Amino acid sequence: MFHKKLKWLLYVFLFFALLKAIGWLLDKEVERAIHQEYARNKAGIIKIAEPKSYQNNHDKALVFLMGHMDTPQKFYELYEKAQKEDTFDVHIPNLPFHSKTIEIGKNLDNKIVETYIQKFLKDKADNYKKVTVVALSYSGLIMAKLLSEGKIPSNIKVVLYSPSVYIKNNNALNYWSTYILPKIFREYYNYDFPPLLPTGFPVYESGDNEARTNLATEVKFRYRIFSALRKLFELDRETRGVLTKIKQPFKILMAKDDNRVPHDKLKAECTENTFCEFISFPSGRHVLHFGGMKDKFYEIISKNAQT
């Protein structure tokens, strides 16, 4: 009996060892393919998704901060509109661990990203009379945290754009899978050929029908990076309730049909806080500025930056 149990334990060990070896090989192939797919500049940033900065001696500035594992390219259309309008300077920085390689992305560290954003905005606050920051999703969550801790200068006006607060799929199963799956199988989840059932690339579902074409051409690693997703989930869990703790004026912009974060929950917390203004869009899902609401979205952002 003892030998039979030992035999089965050996079989289980060999199965998981083989699974891990296959996963390791698949992950290495992903890293190789991503390296080949995009050319990079001297800083290692993907050339067609580099940071942008338009400066024309204005005393006001607009800053766009991208979402989780996004690139500055996410805001290029809005950047070009603002540049043509030419009533304020515009900046889109690249965040640490983003826009380079998929293996750099898997080392995401929330604290390093937070420190970078705080330092970047402090520099802008020192050089402009007023700075409007539009922080999407992951960056929106980090900005909410910084605001709640009183770490944002008073001449910076913050717009939390679909901030990643109370993420809908941050449940126990998904949270713990970000720990377990990399240990037993893979670090990257291929949306077209995942370990279990195909799910399709979720970024297409983040905008309305009009947004799908733009989202499909966006520079983005078409893999879920489990360790980076875990960091996002952890930050969400650590900061829940943060919207009620902010003691300086801020806005939240999001759609009623947002598929990533709960509209009603965020609206309720905003209502509790007299410093919060909630602007709700009838549709647009998680990414408003690519779809049917993009003109209204830019109008609100531009007005906020000018006044």
Q: Give the per-residue pLDDT at 198.
A: 46
Q: Give the per-residue pLDDT at 151.
A: 96
Neighbours of 185 (CB within 10 A): 18
Distance CA 242, CA 131 (A): 22
Q: Does any domain span residue 16?
A: no
Q: Does any domain span residue 188?
A: no
Q: Does any domain span residue 76?
A: yes
- Domain containing residue 297: 47-173+195-306
Closest C-alpha to 58, from 143, 151, 129? 129
| Total number of residues shown for the chain | 307
Count the domains in the chain: 1
CATH classification at residue 199: 3.40.50.1820
Element (H, E) at 198: none
Long-range contact list for 46-51, CB < 8 A, 24+ apart?
46/71, 46/99, 46/100, 46/219, 48/73, 48/219, 49/73, 49/99, 49/219, 50/94, 50/99, 51/91, 51/92, 51/93, 51/94
Q: Does any domain span residue 153?
A: yes
pLDDT per residue, tens digit, the chain (307 aa), is 656 677 788 888 899 899 999 999 999 999 999 999 899 999 999 999 999 999 999 999 999 999 999 999 999 999 999 999 999 999 999 999 999 999 999 999 999 999 999 999 999 999 999 999 999 999 999 999 999 999 999 999 999 999 999 999 899 988 999 999 899 999 998 766 555 544 455 666 788 878 777 777 788 887 889 999 999 999 999 999 999 999 999 999 999 999 999 999 999 999 999 999 999 999 999 999 988 899 999 999 999 888 8
Q: Does any domain span residue 13?
A: no
Q: Does any domain span residue 203?
A: yes
**pTM of structure:** 0.93
Q: Does any domain span residue 137?
A: yes
Q: Does any domain span residue 7?
A: no
Distance CA 103, CA 35 (A): 10
